[in-house]
Structure 1
Amino acid sequence: MAHIYVYSPSGAVRDRASFKRGIKRLQALGHEVEIDPTALDTWQRFAGDDATRLASVARAAASGADVALTTRGGYGLSRLLPDLPYRQIAKSIEKGTHFVGFSDFTALQLALYAKTEAITWSGPALCEGFGTNDPEGPDEITMACFDDLLSGSGEGAGWRVKPSSEQDHSSGLLAKQATLWGGNLAMLVSLLGTPYFPEIKNGVLFLEDVGEHPYRIERMMTQLMHAGVLRQQKAIVLGQFTEYKLTPQDKGYTLAKMVEWLRTQVKCPILTGLPFGHVPTKVLLPVGKKVDFLLEDRDAFLLWGHVH
């Protein structure tokens, strides 16, 4: 089975019960779980001060593990970007370590790709994914995708989009050998104008977020549009945007209305429904990998297993 290195590069682990559950579940599956010595450290809102978390990233890269798995997101990696050991991380990826995480981890993923073009994986973190308090355990689809990553058998991800009447494109090949990239929308936008924002043309951009009202999502998407990022993409894929609250003053302005407006502003296809975000069901997505993107009626497919 796999050697999994668990470390905390962002926010402090507050829910230690989920941490313990996640470790036990991975061990019960037969995996060797190595816990970073500072994984449960706390300093202000962070999992240790900046130097502590930087050292944990370096240890994850030096671990030789099959998977370097974050405990959680939160916030903290943005502070570390100037000092991250990019070459060391890229070298460990070349040797077979898969770096997996999401949310705040987006900052490391995109910065690493901008610096080295090394491929990382957007997927579950330890606490919210494997440590869920759902009595049925972690989501089956998420676990199947994680198993595919470990076995090297994963070739893509598929999902059903909303009825075609809500789409602004027809079935067929939407992108060929495009660079898959993205992650948390707020984290991605925060990197604009910095050396840590990858300049990707002919990409498939996937996005998700949590706790952001649709007008805030629109504002961030508009910033990407005005910066010229969206027009350089072959397609945009929207994952799950959760835990926001509409108010009476919205007067019918919803996430769907925001997407409808965005489609009038952007030429490339915009698809919705990707099972990824701050939700139990998450497919694992290789950030930086070349993909083909197909739509067959209402079935969307991101395929990377055959793309060279």
Structure 2
Amino acid sequence: MTTLTLFTPSGALAKAENLKRAARRLTQLGFEVAIDADALARHQRFGGDDATRLTALHRIADAAPSIALATRGGYGLTRLLDRIDWGRIAHSVEHGTRWVGYSDLTALQNGLIARHKGLSMWAGPLACDDFGRSEAEGGVDEVTRDCFLEAMSGALEAVGFRETSRDIPGGFDGLEARGRLWGGNLTVLCSLLGTPHWPKVKGGILFLEDVNEHPYRVERMLLQLQQAGVIDAQAAVLLGDFSGATKSPLDRGYGIKDAVAALRARTKTPVLTGLPFGHVRTKVCLPVGGTVELYVQGRETILGWQSDPRLAHGEHGHHDHHHH
């Protein structure tokens, strides 16, 4: 049986019923679901005070369930980064735990990449956002669900999408790249620059998304990464969804396309758009920290990787190289 633990590392849950609904649905999908003791804890806007959330993180790492799925994002992991025992987190990953989430989970995923080459987590759904939505709110997105099930079983080895840039003559036809996949939420990632939690990835494939950030703010953060030498050092950049921001009358036609154009004008690194990932209903699962291969044919883009052999054979793998 695949054990799955739901935990709250960042923002507090508004309603317990979404968590219960998510747990019920995940159980129906065949997982043995456990809800962490402090999943519903609250302190100000957080899912419990810092000590509570840190203890929960370590408790889950020590228990090493098959899957550790965050209930929601928000904000809160940044407060914990300096106090996380990364050896314990790494140990759980080596014992087969797949940590899954996006948004604020970007801090945890990239903090691990900064310290352990070869270890990965999953950028993917959040329990309450993606599995806890009521039928009236649209229920569970089928693509998101199926992609999650495939990724967690070890069967998912690639995701495909259509590159959406219309302003690049010929698009990125023929592009091939291979490197370490990293990134996630743009705002959270930028907050790690210059800290010990920043992954110094060269020749990687950087993916980015954000929500409720005005295009000029997105542009400013993209240019910060470019001016810091980060974008130029990558093999490719994949942009997911950047929606939710309120337009301003001052924009006069300026939008995300212009922000992307401003970045492309300053780097030779291919910047692709259309990755089905971000604060949207339909999202794929991506092995953050894993080595991936990117192929573009026409506008069809394939991002592929080798699945974990331990999962494909249905075993809970045990490695003997532990970092403590």
Distance (whole Å) between structure 2 residues aligned to residue 265 and residue 163 of structure 1: 17
Structure 1 stretch displaced more, 221-230 or 126-135? 126-135
Q: Which moved more, 1:114-123 or 1:230-239?
A: 114-123
2:13 maps to 1:10: no
What residue in structure 2 maps to residue 280 of structure 1?
281
- The answer to whether the Cα contact below 8 Å between 2:172 and 2:299 also exists between their aligned partners in 1 is no
Letter in 2 for 1:26: L
Match for residue 174 of structure 2 among 161, 172, 175: 172
More displaced, 117-126 or 70-79?
Answer: 117-126
Counterpart among 148, 151, 170 of residue 150 in structure 2 = 148
* Partner secondary structure for residue 215 of structure 1: helix
In structure 1, the partner of 2:313 is none
Alignment map for 1:164-203 (pairs within 5 Å): 165-166=167-168, 169-176=171-178, 178-203=179-204
Deviation at 1:85, TM superposition (A): 1.8
Output the CA distance in 1 between the equivalents of 2:288 and 2:115: 13
Alignment check: 8 A CA contact 1:123 1:282 kept: yes
Aligned mates of 1:306, 1:164 — CA distance in 2: 33
Distance in 2 of aligned mates of 1:170 and 1:107: 30
Q: Give the 5 Å matches for 1:114-133.
A: 114-117=114-117, 118-133=119-134
Note the 1:195-214 alignment, pairs <5 A. 195-214=196-215
Q: Tell me, in whole angstroms, the C-alpha distance in 2 between the residues paired with 1:70 and 1:44.
A: 19
Report the count of equivalent residues. 307
1:143-202, CA deviations, whole angstroms, 9 ceiling, x for partnerless residues?
1111112211110111111265446753124302x1111100000000000000000000
2:286 maps to a residue whose letter is L
Aligned counterparts, 1:219-258, within 5 A: 219-258=220-259
- Mapped to 2, the partners of 1:165 and 1:243 lie a distance apart of 23
- Residue matched to 1:160: 162
Could you tell me how far apart the structure 2 residues matched to 1:103 and 1:33 are?
Answer: 22
Take 1:97 and 1:87, find their aligned partners in 2: how far apart are those partners? Answer: 14
CA distance in 1, matches of 2:220, 2:308: 34
TM-score relative to the length of structure 2: 0.91
Write the letter of the residue equivalent to 2:52: T
Q: For residue 235 of structure 2, give the secondary structure of its aligned residue in structure 1.
A: strand
Q: What residue number does 1:111 align with?
A: 111
* Aligned residue number for residue 94 of structure 2: 94
SS of residue in 1 equivalent to 2:250: helix
Q: Is the 8 A contact 1:215 1:258 kept in 2?
A: yes
Identical columns (%): 48
> What CA deviation, in whole Å up to 9, does each residue of 1:273-295 have, x standing for no partner?
11100111110011111111011
SS in 2 for 1:259: helix
CA distance in 2, matches of 1:62, 1:252: 52
TM, length-normalised to structure 1: 0.96
In structure 2, relative to structure 1, the CA distance for the partners of 1:133 and 1:166 (3 Å cut) is farther
Deviation at 1:17, TM superposition (A): 2.4
- Amino acid paired to 1:175: A
Cα distance in 2 for partners of 1:78, 1:215 equals 24
In structure 1, the gaps of 5 or more residues are: none
Gaps of at least 5 residues in structure 2 are: 310-324
Match of 1:300 in 2: 301
- Counterparts of 1:47 and 1:92 in 2: how far apart (Å)? 22
| 1:306 shift after superposition | 7.3
Give the C-alpha shift of residue 134 in structure 1. Answer: 3.9
Shift of 1:86: 0.7
Aligned partner of residue 237 in structure 1, secondary structure: strand
Contact 2:98 2:121 in 1 (8 A): yes
Q: Given residue 302 of structure 1, which amino acid in structure 2 is its aligned partner?
A: L
Q: Which residue of 2 aligns with 1:78?
A: 78
Residue by residue, what CA displacement relative to the aligned partner does 1:27-48 show, whole Å, maximum 9, x if unpaired? 1222111111000000011111
1:68-123 CA-to-partner distances (Å, cap 9, x unmatched) read 01010000000000111211111111111100011001001101110123211100
The residue number in structure 2 matching 1:63 is 63
- Does structure 1 retain, via aligned residues, the 8 Å contact 2:170–2:298? no
Work out whether residues 236 and 269 of structure 1, in 8 Å CA contact, stay in contact via their aligned partners in 2. Answer: yes
Question: RMSD value over aligned CA atoms?
Answer: 1.7
Deviation per residue, 1:7-40 (Å, 9 max, x gap): 1111111132221211110112221111110000
